[in-house]
Amino acid sequence: MDNRKLIDKALEAMNYAYAPYSKFKVGAALITDGVVYTGCNIENSSFGATICAERCAISKAVSEGHKNIQKIAIVSSSGDFTPPCGICRQVMEEFMADGTVVLSNGKEIKEYTVRELLPAGFSAEDMKG
């Protein structure tokens, strides 16, 4: 799937974001094994219970048996590029270490590898001893 189509899916997902506290809505769409999964941020008054759009989409994919994610697109209501937070980067390391992260500000598109965003990520391989 090309980046523009994946970004469009992320924009659709952003419409479902629940962000009553920050008013900062995020949407994500990923592709894995030819299937697209979307996610949005879901805030909670107990801020630690908040889930990011990226982890929402990844959780949906993994819960359906897809653990080899090729690409994820991320958009936000800020109108700027919105790179994933540290927790999301670590989750991406687990399920898409060789994948691509696509960001859009509505005008331009930037692409990164997960390794560029998390150059010294901790993986399951590191736990083998």
CATH for 65? 3.40.140.10
88 annotated as a binding-site residue: yes
Domain count, the chain: 1
**Using one digit for the tens of pLDDT, what is the confidence trace for 64-112?**
999 999 999 999 999 999 999 999 999 999 999 999 999 999 999 999 9
Number of CB atoms found within 10 A of residue 100's CB: 18
40 annotated as a binding-site residue: no
Domain enclosing residue 24, as ranges: 3-118
Give the rounded percent of residues in the chain with a pLDDT score beyond 90.
90
Pairing of strands 71-76, 100-104: parallel
Phi, psi (deg, nearest 5) at residue 97:
-55, -35
pLDDT at residue 107 in the model = 96
Give the rounded percent of residues in the chain with a pLDDT score beyond 70.
96
**Amino acid at position 9, single letter:** K
- Domain assignment present for residue 37? The answer is yes
pTM value surpassing 0.75: yes
Q: Is 125 assigned a catalytic role? A: no
- Domain assignment present for residue 125? The answer is no
- Domain assignment present for residue 129? The answer is no
pLDDT at residue 38 in the model = 98
Pairing of strands 100-104, 35-40: unpaired
- Domain assignment present for residue 40? The answer is yes
Whole-number Å distance between alpha carbons of 56 and 44: 14
